[in-house]
A and B are shown apart, each in its own frame.
Chain A
Amino acid sequence: DVKVTQSSRYLVKRTGEKVFLECVQDMDHENMFWYRQDPGLGLRLIYFSYDVKMKEKGDIPEGYSVSREKKERFSLILESASTNQTSMYLCASSLTSYRDRDAEAFFGQGTRLTVV
C-alpha cells in the first residue's frame, strides 16, 4: 500500500516562529502536494511539486515556501507563523499518468497546526 507520512499529527507554535512540516511518501511518486483544510473552505492547494527541486504555486502560496531536495520528501515551511495559518495541513502524492486511477492522489493523515 502507498504510504504518505506526515511527521506530526498535532503542532502548537508561537506567532513568528519558523515552522517545518515534513511529508514522506514511499511509492516513488513524481508529484507531491501540500493542502490546507479549513471548515467551509475545503482543501486549498498551497504548493505542489512535480519533480525534485521543482515547485509550483497553488492557490494560496502566500506565507509559505516548500522544499523538495529528494523525491520522497516534500517539506512545507512557514517562514514566520501567524495565527491565520492555524489549520489542518494535508500532504499528498501521485504519479504522473493518465491511466485510470494512476493519477489518484494519496493523502497523509494530516497535521493540525495551532499558532498562538
Chain B
Amino acid sequence: GESVGLHLPTLSVQEGDNSIINCAYSNSASDYFIWYKQESGKGPQFIIDIRSNMDKRQGQRVTVLLNKTVKHLSLQIAATQPGDSAVYFCAETRGAGNMLTFGGGTRLMVKP
C-alpha cells in the first residue's frame, strides 16, 4: 500500500553540527508534506511544511527539501542544539479531508 517511511530510526549528532533526517514517500499524488517534532511526553508539533509545487523551503535553522522525482523528503537542521533532541516524523496529506499519513519516525540524539 501507499506509505511514508523513514530511512534511519536513530540519528546521533554532535552539538553544533548539521543534522539531516530523510523520508521516502510512495504516493505521487501527495501534495503537502509536514515535518513534526515530538518531545518526550508531548504530542507532535509542527516544524515546517512544503507543498508539492516547491523544491525547498527554509525556516529558522530548518530547511525542508522535496525531490518529487525520487519521492524523497529531507529535513535539515543547522547547528543542532540539545533542545533539538526528539523524534521527528514526516507526514503527507492528501485529499479533501487532509488525511495525514505518518512515517515511522527518527530519533535525533544530540551529543554535547
Contact indicator A107/B44 (Cβ below 8 Å): yes
Which of A42-50, A67-75, A77-85 is found at the contact surface with chain B? A42-50
Q: Which residues in B have their C-beta under 8 angstroms from that of A17?
A: none
Contact indicator A96/B93 (Cβ below 8 Å): no
A96 to B99, CA, bound (A): 10
Number of interface residues of B (CB under 8 A): 25
Residue B75 CB within 8 A of the other chain: no
A97 to B41, CA, bound (A): 29
Residues of A that sit less than 8 Å from B by CB: 4, 31, 33, 35, 40-45, 48, 50, 56, 58-59, 90, 92, 94-98, 100-101, 103-110
What would 29 A/B residue contacts be, using CB atoms closer than 8 Å?
A33-B100, A41-B104, A43-B44, A43-B91, A44-B102, A45-B99, A45-B100, A48-B97, A48-B99, A50-B96, A56-B99, A58-B99, A90-B44, A92-B43, A95-B98, A97-B98, A98-B31, A98-B32, A100-B49, A103-B98, A104-B46, A104-B49, A105-B91, A105-B93, A107-B43, A107-B44, A109-B41, A109-B42, A110-B42
